[in-house]
Amino acid sequence: MESEDSNLQSTRKKQKGEKNCVILDDQDKDVCEYEENENPQATDQSYEEYKKIYDLDNQVNTWSDYLSARFHPKTNVVVEDYIHGDMRTRPFDVYGLGYNYDNLIENIEDHIRFYAEEADYLRGFHLMIDSNNSFGGVGVKVSELLADEYSTKGKIAFPSITHNHQVAAEGGNFQIHNLAQFLNSALTMKGLTDQCCLVTPMSLSKDTFPLKDNFRQLPFSKYQPQSHYHTSAILASAIDTMTLPWRSRRNKIDMAEIASKLNINGRKVAATAISLPFPLKSNEFFVELLEKIENERSGKYGSFHENVNLVSLMPGCHNVTKDVQIECLSLRGIGVNECFKPKRDMRSTKMPSYTGRYALTDSIPCALFSHFARMKEIGNGNSTIPNSITSIDTSLPTECPFPHLFDKSKLSKNGLVLEDGSTNNSGHGVTNVPVLTSLQSSSAVGFAMKSLAERCGKINLNKLHRFQEAGLDNDELIETTEGLINLYECYEDDNIA
């Protein structure tokens, strides 16, 4: 964020005297529209004004549109035989096309080996894959290479499932296109679970099958489900927060250790849930929220998960607030504004302003562990205590180029829920927000795998000629279905350790 702001500012200084400029050069992807003041001395002031009113919704189409970073030549591999967005002449939309793309796989392997040799200590790999087209096959093939050459390293895959109905309508047969998207996702899921330590599907769609207007709702958010610019920002926020346990400099937990806790008994699929923003009120401390949940035993406020509005980001997995068996929580942005608990003035002889059960608790993870133990004792909330809890003070930055997702009439500049009648007087909208993510294994994940397997078993491959041309046969489809059924069986109650 900081590097992009500085690049944008320097670019705008070069454009002094121009009006209503839109930077769309391929060499500099800062597609930010602004209006320059005629007075050259007002450049810095104009830039500050721009930061308040930027709007990229109608200008950002692909992930590279708002990048200013320059990549190393070994970072990118170009798919030379296909054209991005070409859904008519030669689309890159079938699993087998990516899986059997040998030249592309070889180039990716060379680039991975280059960076692996440069690393001082290689701990593992993150695989972020677009699973509903040919890149799902590319991702599975790469995961096989990583399993062969780096078998001792952790590998966590994040297959993204995106359903764009406009593309389907332009491509011809709407139903066939949706079915192809679903089959690509099923084949990718089966392939990744065979090779990776953990697979975490990511999507704002409620279902694994493309359905119109079937998207998750986020409290305090007004995102556009059909905008990849909006949805990718939400998913990226979840991944950035979820991976904090093994990326934090303090109290770091090994990625393989987290994966081994979640994939016990063959449960290689985990669900991700997010609270964006974490709904802490501006006039409330974090410990007061915990006590409020504990004191209301009648269930008025529900469990911690229900009270913080956790929303599932795994398609087909709907219940992420109950029957959670294994869980890793990551929370960010509570300590930065001293929202954890009231501070006592050590120079004062008066009683401290807060004397509750968390008065001696000095960290958010300790408070949460104590809270879940208390809830288990009184028989409310989840039946298990999270396996790990990570917390950092730094909140999630939501300034440029992050989209305007949040309702600033309900949130403060720092993402806290405003009191009734209060207003956001910052003029900048919401510049940062606290976020909570839950990486969990539960029976709901198993039911999602069951639904995926049942639908996969009903597919008539004879209607999908392009899959057959790319090398998929009925035996492989049956094997995929059986593999998904085996995954579901790992989540049955009698397999709980």
Residues 47, 59, single domain; the answer is: yes
Q: In this structure, is residue 407 part of a structural domain?
A: yes
Give Cβ neighbours of residue 429 (< 8 Å, ≥ 6 apart). Answer: 52, 404, 406, 408, 413
Q: Length of the chain in residues, anyone? A: 497
Q: State pLDDT tens for residues 302-355.
A: 678 888 889 999 998 888 887 888 899 999 988 755 677 776 554 545 555 666
C-alpha span between 199 and 159 (Å, rounded):
8
Residues 378, 483, single domain; the answer is: no
Residues 189, 307, single domain; the answer is: no
DSSP labels, 259-312: HHHHTGGG--B-EEEEESS---BTT--HHHHHHHHHH-TTSSS--HHHHTT-EE
C-alpha span between 248 and 388 (Å, rounded):
14
Q: What does R_g of the chain's alpha carbons equal in angstroms?
A: 24
pLDDT for the residue 336:
57
> For residue 496, which phi and psi values (nearest 5 degrees)?
-75, 130
Hey, CA dihedral for 368, 373, 378, 383, is it positive or negative? positive
Domain count, the chain: 3
pLDDT for the residue 421:
57
Which strand ranges, in their side-by-side order, compose the sheet holding 154-160?
124-130, 154-160, 198-199
Residues 133, 41, single domain; the answer is: no
pLDDT for the residue 200:
95
Residues 380, 422, single domain; the answer is: yes
The residue out of 397, 427, 442 marking a domain boundary is 442
Residues 403, 465, single domain; the answer is: no
Residues 232, 144, single domain; the answer is: yes
- Residue 32 lies in domain: 2-66
Residues 99, 222, single domain; the answer is: yes
Residues 254, 105, single domain; the answer is: yes
Q: State pLDDT tens for residues 40-75.
A: 444 454 555 555 567 788 777 776 776 666 778 888
Q: In this structure, is residue 79 part of a structural domain?
A: no
Residues 101, 208, single domain; the answer is: yes
Q: In this structure, is residue 71 part of a structural domain?
A: no
Q: In this structure, is residue 333 part of a structural domain?
A: yes
pLDDT for the residue 125:
93
Q: In this structure, is residue 268 part of a structural domain?
A: no
Residues 378, 460, single domain; the answer is: no
Nearest to 382, CA basis, from 450, 303, 307: 303
C-alpha span between 321 and 312 (Å, rounded):
9
Q: In this structure, is residue 198 part of a structural domain?
A: yes
Q: Are 185 and 161 in contact (CB under 8 A)?
A: yes
Residues 235, 279, single domain; the answer is: no
CATH of residue 247's domain is: 3.40.50
pLDDT for the residue 428:
63
pLDDT for the residue 170:
47
Q: In this structure, is residue 128 part of a structural domain?
A: yes
pLDDT for the residue 422:
66
Strands (E), 321-377: 324-332
Q: Are 438 and 310 in contact (CB under 8 A)?
A: yes
- Report mean pLDDT in 10-residue bins for the chain, 497 residues: 42 39 34 40 50 72 70 83 76 90 90 90 91 92 93 92 56 75 93 93 88 84 86 92 88 86 90 92 85 68 79 89 87 77 57 70 86 78 78 88 85 84 65 92 90 91 89 91 92 62
pLDDT for the residue 250:
77
Q: In this structure, is residue 81 part of a structural domain?
A: no
C-alpha span between 195 and 198 (Å, rounded):
9
Q: Cα–Cα–Cα angle for 128, 431, 32, nearest 5°?
A: 70
Model's pTM, two decimal places? 0.83
